[in-house]
Structure 1
Amino acid sequence: MKKIYFASDQHFGAPTPELSLPREKKFVAWLDEVKEDAEAIFLLGDLFDFWFEYKTVVPKGFVRVLGKLAEIRDSGIPIYFFVGNHDLWMNDYFEKELNIPVYHDNKEFTFNGKTFLIGHGDGKGPGDKGYKRMKKVFTNPFSKWLFRWFHPDLGVGLAQYLSVKNKLISGDEDIKFLGEDKEWLILYAKRKLETKHYNYFVFGHRHLPMIRTVGENSEYVNLGDWIGYFTYGVFDGEKFELLEYKK
């Protein structure tokens, strides 16, 4: 079979459009390469550092990556998009304009007899109760309706200002593995295995590339990011690997 590709957490637009552009060009080059043998491509959220769909307006920019996704999808290669915590206000723009389905929660897939549970990973597992409460507010229809009344220059500008404060984007935050007893997504995967078996749990959000065994013939995969690691996942029908894009 051809290969299944996975990537997550590009955060295009941060910390500024100018500084984000080289990363966007690098990601487009990666898309150009993987399209040659891709059975499907999964994007697991936070493609943009901020995204909001007004009724007739979307944030400007990102022309290169959007054009490349349109080209690949038009060629017949399926692309699946899972919203992250930075682009959770995505609605139907990708579906209508690019014919790319958008998922707001985990979804199960089966490839070559292997079962996958795929999602961005935010708000899963124990802990992080503050974010979980905040997410409920952000995804509330009234909150989205209220934000839509902000002029885009104001709303997008505010989001970009807050992004500059993000230590993860600026490189000031040192992400470390917390241990299997404290990594929320690992605990989440192990809990899911109590009721159903999956060969692979594939998530983003954590920004720390890793593959960890969580059960018999079951692995948890975090895809890392395209800020400092430039890592992606590939499943060739038999095994799952994490690779670094170095070009």
Structure 2
Amino acid sequence: MDIPSGKKIYFSSDNHLGAPTPEASLPREKKFVQWLDEIKEDAAAIFLLGDLFDFWFEYKTVVPKGFVRVLGKLAEISDSGIPIYFFVGNHDLWMHDYFEKELNIPTYREPKEFKLGDKTFFIGHGDGKGPGDKGYKRMKKVFENSVFKWLFRWFHPELGMRLAQYLSVKNKLISGEEDKKFLGEENEWLALYAKRKLETKHYDYFIFGHRHLPMQIEVGKNSTYYNLGDWITHFTYGVFDGTSFELKEY
């Protein structure tokens, strides 16, 4: 992807809209929409690295109620010709083709390599990667099981959404509350994952979310891992101007 002069590429992750309640998350949604409205002026592309919603499940004809402000803004930006890329997180794991069909936003379930300008990026949500996150890795196998998804689909949406939202907030394995402490540069499992990837190929930048902690860790020669933080506590995002990557606070 070429980056035109004066343009930038923006990265954001972990909004968890809808948590702990729709009313409580509304100010955060409005703040995020305001940010989107500002960056569209010089954005060459926008990467959303998952957990935009605290829970998302697509039935064949039903999607979760609400989020009209952010969905409308994403549609507006996409319609204007600015590409948006969405990486499914552990909270919106059950996303299917709604974003692609309604918003023209491609979705990815695994980390993906991008060449942005003359830099090579490895981008993803980050859940289940590296040596840690063991509790979630076990739970993810259940969530990805086709039988479990089929059974959940038979819940009436009113019941299914309420149950899922309750578990999303209360269950620490799902919410990630148990993993929000900095583990140290030598123990951060996404940094360890990045170092392992470097054994086979060089990447200038590894960009992930999921940890809810903004961080910058050198993982190799001329290679850096960044975590984007979140839009709950830190309100941080990443920006690449074609030369360097920077974490910023909104």
Q: Which runs of 5+ in 1 are unaligned?
A: none
TM-score w.r.t. structure 1 length? 0.95
- The amino acid that maps onto 1:162 is L
Q: CA deviation at 1:210?
A: 0.9
Q: CA deviation at 1:181?
A: 2.3
Structure 1 distance, partners of 2:32, 2:216, is: 22
Q: Is the 8 A contact 2:120 2:205 kept in 1?
A: yes
Partner of residue 19, structure 1: 24
Instruction: Say if 2:134 is the partner of 1:101.
Output: no
Partner of residue 145, structure 2: 140
- 63, 71, 77: which one aligns with 2:76: 71
Partner of residue 230, structure 1: 235
Structure 1 distance, partners of 2:101, 2:241, is: 30
Structure 1 distance, partners of 2:53, 2:20, is: 11
Q: Is the 8 A contact 1:73 1:98 kept in 2?
A: yes
Instruction: Say if 2:57 is the partner of 1:52.
Output: yes
Structure 1 distance, partners of 2:219, 2:169, is: 36
Structure 2 distance, partners of 1:37, 1:167, is: 38
Q: Which runs of 5+ in 2 are unaligned?
A: none
Q: How do 1:1-247 and structure 2 match up within 5 A?
A: 1=4, 2-165=7-170, 175-245=180-250
- The amino acid that maps onto 2:216 is I
Q: Which stretch of structure 1 is more off in the superposition, 126-135 or 111-120?
A: 126-135
Partner SS state of residue 33, structure 1: helix
- The amino acid that maps onto 1:104 is R
Structure 2 distance, partners of 1:27, 1:158, is: 26
Deviations 1:161-200 (A, max 9, x none): 2234266999x87933211222110000000000010000
Q: Is the 8 A contact 1:7 1:232 kept in 2?
A: yes
TM-score w.r.t. structure 2 length? 0.94
- The amino acid that maps onto 1:237 is G
Structure 1 distance, partners of 2:59, 2:130, is: 31
- The amino acid that maps onto 2:33 is V
Structure 1 distance, partners of 2:106, 2:179, is: 33
Structure 1 distance, partners of 2:179, 2:114, is: 33
**Aligned residue-pair number:** 245
Percent identity, aligned pairs only, is 82
Partner SS state of residue 110, structure 1: strand
Q: Which stretch of structure 1 is more off in the superposition, 125-134 or 214-223?
A: 125-134
Partner SS state of residue 191, structure 2: helix
- The amino acid that maps onto 1:238 is T
Q: Is the 8 A contact 1:201 1:221 kept in 2?
A: yes
Deviations 1:63-101 (A, max 9, x none): 000000000000000000000000000000000000000
Q: Which stretch of structure 1 is more off in the superposition, 172-181 or 79-88?
A: 172-181
